[in-house]
Structure 1
Amino acid sequence: MERAAVLIGVSKTGNLPELQAVTPSVQRMTDWARRQGIDEGHLQVLTDEKNPVTVEQVHSAITALVDRASVEQLIVYFSGHGINIDSEFWLLSGAPKNVNEAVNVEGSVRLARYCGISHVVLISDACRSAAEGLLALQIKGGEVFPNEPVSGTEKPVDILFSCARGKPSLEIVDPAAAAAEAAKRYSALYTEVLLDYLTGRHQETLHPVEEDGRVVAELRLGELADCLKRDVPARLAAMKIDPKLNQLPDDRISRHTEDAWIARMPFKGRLLSRTFSPGIPAREPPPVTPFTVSEGLVSASLEGDQRKWKELLSLESGGRERGLLEAVATQAEPFGPMHFETQCGFKIRGARIVDTVQRDVDVELLGTAGDTVRVGGLTAPGANVLLVLENGCGVAVPALPDFIAALSFEGGQLVDVSYEPSENTWRWGEYAHAVNELRSLRATIAASAALGVFRLNEEGGLALARRMQYAKGVDPSLALYAAYVYDSLQRRDLIDEMRSYMEGDLGLVFFDVALLSRAPIMGRFVPPFPMLSQGWALLSAYRAQLPPSLHGIEQCRVPSLWTMFNGKGVAMLRKAILSGGIER
């Protein structure tokens, strides 16, 4: 197999602290790549040791390898500062002063799928903390894979993250060297543990394989990811630096490549027969983490097992696990009116509505609490309604005939939007049979997504496809979450199927679903931009454009799982809606 690697290290960016471990980490990864037999022509090393690292340099390095048309596996490694603005960005030398000098990881992944290389692996040893400050929030970044699809078939792109979303990737003082303060040796914890496996220090994880009359030992990607999730937190705990510090690696690995090898080395064991089993022995059960808690809750919800779901919800736990369970319980609790005379409306909790903006539809803010909105005079397929909040921010949410939209806010962010049929519509009778299971599933997905720990394998994704359909209808909010699940699984066929089902049932399609289907926009789609914030990072890669009346509105977003705008964005949307700059 012809392999290549692009290794990137940026120790200094903007006013952020200079990272001491970046250069040594990249050097060790370079040494490993060479020992793997990746020759100099297939190895690109970009660091800021002497000169700044730019998006154009990274793009050119990757494009040169793609253009060879013979590379079968490409490894792209990054060590440096990272931020999460709804999705992942690697900060290069010119960021954040130059908003384009960052790698848009999610957009790059989408282009990488069609670049023609059979298997791309991204390894990110960078923070995934939320962006802070105006400069960081303006980061746009750029895609570093060529925007020239070579293949009409998607190829696997896998990602290894050094930490969970919203968390830092730790650069820590080595305790052994800390005693000799003058030495000041630093190590990037994740890369240290990663290289232990890549270089074969854990023989029990290697698989012996016969090839051309010799035996080699392979390290497989799925097992590597599992080991990193176990060993990085354990290594940190053993260092006894601060019990409050934690680092839990994350990953997105395709079922098609979980058994793909990522490192090979001479086999040092002894073959007992010509037929042998995998070298990795039975392991202890994985530790309880927000990921495992989320997986258990999602699985119970997909199975419709409310008893099991409630048992899991009541488990004793601490830290982020307890926070997740509490968030799920809160989200699952219904609130507000279950019907309107008009059969359509909005209800919110955790915030207060002070104004609404709409065109050709009757909208009435009920009562004095600012938490209930009745929508009348609505005709199919629906209308965009801007809800303006007490703090000056706003959200644009589609009003759908027969549905009540429930919005949940926490800490000033919109953390969930769910749609349920109004109890006085034809949809409710059939929906009611599954309402508890659907609420538990939606709550689990919403809370898990807000923490960045929502994952589904292909089996779970198919189960979600079945679950979000009830009788002759479709759950609109689950359709949004499902679209991103199917995109991560690279199952565009399921996205296309869901899009068709939504158009047939509701007469429209959400922008996010249309975006991820990558098909020409036909008919109605609402709103005229992504509802889930993670969709904004994909607009460039998917060549999607917003209406001219909303040009620049992406710079008016505020941090939130679901798209929210600041006062400037609210003013822009108000003008666009009232003037007809966007469809009703």
Structure 2
Amino acid sequence: MKRRDFLCASSAFAAFVVCGSAKSQAVGARGAVVIGVDKIQGLPVLHATDGANQVAQWLTGEGFEVKLLLDTTTKVTLQEIFDAVAEFVGRGNVSMLVIYFAGHGYMANVAAEWWMLSGAPANPNEAVSFLESVYLAKNCGIPNVVIISDACRSTPESLNAGSVRGGLIFPVVGLPSATCDVDRFMATCAGNRAYELPVAESVNQGYQGIFTGSFMDAFRRPDKDMVKPIRDGTLVVPNRALKKYLQREVQKRAQDKSIILKQLPDVEVTSDDMVYIGHAQAQVRASLPGTLLPIDTIVDFAFKKAGASFSNIDLNGENISPERELEVEKQAADVGFTQTAQMVIDDGHETSLSGTGVYVSGNAVKYFALMGPSAADVTSDGFLNVEIKDRRAENVLIRFNDGTGTVIPVISNYTTFVSLGDGGEINNVRYAPSKDNNLSSAYTQNQPRIKRLQSVFAAAAAYGTFRIEGPRSERRERDKYFREDIRIADGIDPTLSIYTGYIYADADLDTELREISAKLRDQLGIGLFDLELLSGALRQPSNAVFPSFPMMAQGWSFLRVMGAQSEQTTTLKPYLMKSPWTMFTLDGMEHLMAAAQKMYPTR
């Protein structure tokens, strides 16, 4: 069991205050729902309630009205949590909401995180869907919500949790408007590599509470550059100042306990600069250097190396010393980012594959199967050459040698490349215009840069950390650079538009999301499911949509909250595997085979 894949989830906070020497806003009512679950059947007993009690006391001292839910005397249920959150939302005067969770959970893919409640996993409804709850939090009417998860993770298969459906803890309040800022703090990023101890051993050595303790110490013993004065002269620690501190302290404490060699906290703050949860409680100390670069620094650096100008941080060419560059590159290799990116660059041979069809890296395919009326044949090097009839795309089932597989749309006049990781997961899907495509010359001219961009997007997606960060005004300003960087590339490779769609959905850039979705639909003559889903276009009559479910795994977490569930997605969801791109277990592939019209063995 790999500990990093398993959630001992432990925190979620929210706060809203805009204040400072030049700008100040009155603080409204502040509420908190604090949850601690120690016991889940078949899993190590935690000390989550200890952390929950400490957080509740701290927040009470900061003026929060706290609702405390612990499993020390009774079971913690989804209904209890929902009712507590809904009560605060329903008041209409809450300017800050804190939700803290400590307990077990799991990460089903790079974005689908679940908190396990007292009845889980036997009761598939007794869990909290993290990403779906974040989506609803953005529309709840409370100005800021910050979610923090302290994760010791394992795969759902090891927990017998594949059938967990879970639930939502925020009520639906009117039409989606995404007017609320959601700050998220996660103890580890979602990446697919770690150097860790098994979960039982890490719990025995004191893993539980490292992230919570680090978070609270950011207020007890903050660095000098973290604190800011407010109008009454007292010092506070803004949410935006917590990132570097947590990245340093979590890593240091985990190493001190010999629990983990590489732990990369994942922090996303969308609130304004002077939004804070609490005050600095002691004299500040001199700022200390970090021991580990955050994964988003690695992503930004790789994006810049690919020739882009966009950056969430100050990584322009003038201030990157050779020593700093070596440091970033070494850590990128240590955490597996470099290897994942290189697999995408090395995934195919465009010079020999110029027709409509699909190629899978390596010798991993047992057979292809068409899901529609088109015809196909398999070449000697494993390329499925597809003759699409009467439409612009065809869904192709790909079954790997171990029985797992996926469904990928093959688009007319594009060669599709599927890149597999060293664990058999699908790292990337990309499209290259064929010789009959009027974009082929533009692709040839820009191919090296497009491949570099594709590799960065794919590696970042594996870690769930490519974002446009900052307050709303900053996100829109940064998007100008981002759009310019991918302006040519995303028109040539539809995959880059899909990646961009998820980035825009995360950043609440809804207008921009609808624009790229409509642009790609006009260009291809079809809609790609992920963009149609994220932009809301699935609710409207449109051209044909391919495939009939999300291509990227994180899209499955949007189906319920966006009203896009179908009988097929409900049936297939329990069979999803941990992979950045949708991939199904052997049993899931058996369900899909019912729709296959013709099989094409590769050998």
1:275 counterpart residue number: none
1:19 counterpart residue number: 46
Q: Residues 331 and 492 of structure 1: is their aligned pair in 2 closer, same or farther, counting only changes over 3 Å?
A: same
2:358 counterpart residue number: 346
- Aligned counterpart in structure 2 of residue 164 of structure 1, from 183, 189, 199: 189
- Aligned counterpart in structure 1 of residue 278 of structure 2, from 263, 279, 290: 263
2:560 counterpart residue number: 540
Does structure 2 retain, via aligned residues, the 8 Å contact 1:356–1:385? Answer: yes
Alignment pair present for 1:196 and 2:217: yes
1:359 counterpart residue number: 372
Q: 2-side partners of 1:229 and 1:438: how far apart?
A: 31
Deviation per CA, 1:213-236, whole angstroms, max 9, x where unpaired? x32211100111221111221233
Q: 1-side partners of 2:53 and 2:500: how far apart?
A: 40
Q: 2-side partners of 1:316 and 1:417: how far apart?
A: 25
Q: 2-side partners of 1:467 and 1:315: how far apart?
A: 22
1:228 counterpart residue number: 246
- Aligned counterpart in structure 2 of residue 422 of structure 1, from 434, 443, 465: 434
2:412 counterpart residue number: 401
Deviation, structure 1 residue 29: 0.3
Deviation, structure 1 residue 185: 8.3
Deviation, structure 1 residue 359: 1.6
Deviation, structure 1 residue 290: 3.9
Q: Residues 27 and 207 of structure 1: is their aligned pair in 2 closer, same or farther, counting only changes over 3 Å?
A: same
Does structure 2 retain, via aligned residues, the 8 Å contact 1:200–1:206? Answer: no
> 5+ residue gaps in structure 2?
1-26, 311-316, 470-474, 599-603
Deviation per CA, 1:85-120, whole angstroms, max 9, x where unpaired? 021111111111112211100000011111111111
Deviation, structure 1 residue 63: 0.4
1:98 counterpart residue number: 123
Q: 2-side partners of 1:313 and 1:348: how far apart?
A: 33
Q: Residues 156 and 223 of structure 1: is their aligned pair in 2 closer, same or farther, counting only changes over 3 Å?
A: same
Does structure 2 retain, via aligned residues, the 8 Å contact 1:461–1:485? Answer: no
Q: Residues 419 and 52 of structure 1: is their aligned pair in 2 closer, same or farther, counting only changes over 3 Å?
A: same
Q: 1-side partners of 2:199 and 2:95: how far apart?
A: 33
> AA paired with 1:147?
V
Aligned positions of 1:560-575 closer than 5 A: 560-575=579-594
2:472 counterpart residue number: none
Q: 1-side partners of 2:555 and 2:453: how far apart?
A: 22
Alignment pair present for 1:6 and 2:33: yes
1:60 counterpart residue number: 83
- Aligned counterpart in structure 2 of residue 503 of structure 1, from 506, 521, 526: 521
- Aligned counterpart in structure 2 of residue 303 of structure 1, from 294, 308, 319: 308
Q: Residues 265 and 285 of structure 1: is their aligned pair in 2 closer, same or farther, counting only changes over 3 Å?
A: closer
Deviation, structure 1 residue 472: 10
- Aligned counterpart in structure 2 of residue 247 of structure 1, from 259, 263, 269: 263
Q: 1-side partners of 2:200 and 2:52: how far apart?
A: 17
2:5 counterpart residue number: none
> AA paired with 2:42?
N
Deviation, structure 1 residue 421: 0.7
Q: 2-side partners of 1:572 and 1:472: how far apart?
A: 33
Aligned positions of 1:34-73 closer than 5 A: 34-39=60-65, 43-73=66-96
Q: 2-side partners of 1:263 and 1:398: how far apart?
A: 49
When normalised by structure 1's length, the TM-score is 0.85
Q: 1-side partners of 2:574 and 2:200: how far apart?
A: 35
Q: 1-side partners of 2:280 and 2:465: how far apart?
A: 33
Aligned positions of 1:76-115 closer than 5 A: 76-86=99-109, 87-115=112-140
Q: 1-side partners of 2:198 and 2:34: how far apart?
A: 19
Q: 2-side partners of 1:185 and 1:552: how far apart?
A: 39
Q: Residues 200 and 315 of structure 1: is their aligned pair in 2 closer, same or farther, counting only changes over 3 Å?
A: closer
Q: 1-side partners of 2:185 and 2:168: how far apart?
A: 18
Structure having the higher Rg: 1
SS at match of 1:122: strand
Deviation, structure 1 residue 462: 4.2
Q: Residues 334 and 150 of structure 1: is their aligned pair in 2 closer, same or farther, counting only changes over 3 Å?
A: closer
When normalised by structure 2's length, the TM-score is 0.82
- Aligned counterpart in structure 1 of residue 396 of structure 2, from 385, 388, 406: 385
> AA paired with 2:338?
L
Deviation per CA, 1:32-86, whole angstroms, max 9, x where unpaired? 01110123xxx11111111111111111110011001111111111111121002
Deviation, structure 1 residue 132: 3.4
Q: 1-side partners of 2:273 and 2:113: how far apart?
A: 22
Q: 1-side partners of 2:577 and 2:201: how far apart?
A: 35
Percent of matched pairs sharing the same residue: 27
Q: 1-side partners of 2:490 and 2:361: how far apart?
A: 30
Q: How many residues align?
A: 545
Q: 1-side partners of 2:457 and 2:535: how far apart?
A: 21
1:276 counterpart residue number: none
RMSD: 3.2
Q: Residues 6 and 477 of structure 1: is their aligned pair in 2 closer, same or farther, counting only changes over 3 Å?
A: same
Q: 2-side partners of 1:63 and 1:243: how far apart?
A: 38
Deviation, structure 1 residue 242: 2.3
Alignment pair present for 1:376 and 2:387: yes
Does structure 1 retain, via aligned residues, the 8 Å contact 2:251–2:291? Answer: no
> AA paired with 1:248?
L
> AA paired with 1:571?
E
Deviation, structure 1 residue 171: 9.2
Does structure 1 retain, via aligned residues, the 8 Å contact 2:376–2:387? Answer: yes
Larger RCO, structure (CA 8 Å, separation 6 or more) = 2
Alignment pair present for 1:209 and 2:230: yes
Does structure 2 retain, via aligned residues, the 8 Å contact 1:115–1:150? Answer: no
Stretch deviating more after TM superposition (295-304 or 74-83): 295-304
Deviation, structure 1 residue 348: 0.7
Q: Residues 204 and 385 of structure 1: is their aligned pair in 2 closer, same or farther, counting only changes over 3 Å?
A: closer
> AA paired with 1:545?
Q
- Aligned counterpart in structure 2 of residue 531 of structure 1, from 551, 555, 567: 551
Q: 1-side partners of 2:197 and 2:188: how far apart?
A: 6
Q: 2-side partners of 1:229 and 1:481: how far apart?
A: 26
Q: 2-side partners of 1:377 and 1:236: how far apart?
A: 54
Does structure 1 retain, via aligned residues, the 8 Å contact 2:197–2:259? Answer: no
Does structure 2 retain, via aligned residues, the 8 Å contact 1:209–1:216? Answer: yes
Q: 2-side partners of 1:60 and 1:390: how far apart?
A: 47
Q: 2-side partners of 1:327 and 1:253: how far apart?
A: 26
> AA paired with 1:466?
E
Q: Residues 538 and 377 of structure 1: is their aligned pair in 2 closer, same or farther, counting only changes over 3 Å?
A: closer
Deviation, structure 1 residue 417: 0.5
Q: Residues 95 and 78 of structure 1: is their aligned pair in 2 closer, same or farther, counting only changes over 3 Å?
A: same
Does structure 2 retain, via aligned residues, the 8 Å contact 1:171–1:188? Answer: no
Does structure 2 retain, via aligned residues, the 8 Å contact 1:402–1:427? Answer: no
Does structure 2 retain, via aligned residues, the 8 Å contact 1:394–1:570? Answer: yes
Does structure 2 retain, via aligned residues, the 8 Å contact 1:47–1:53? Answer: yes
Q: 2-side partners of 1:471 and 1:185: how far apart?
A: 47
Deviation, structure 1 residue 123: 2.1
Does structure 2 retain, via aligned residues, the 8 Å contact 1:170–1:189? Answer: no
Q: 1-side partners of 2:577 and 2:121: how far apart?
A: 17
Does structure 1 retain, via aligned residues, the 8 Å contact 2:95–2:142? Answer: yes
Q: 2-side partners of 1:550 and 1:61: how far apart?
A: 30
Q: Residues 205 and 484 of structure 1: is their aligned pair in 2 closer, same or farther, counting only changes over 3 Å?
A: same
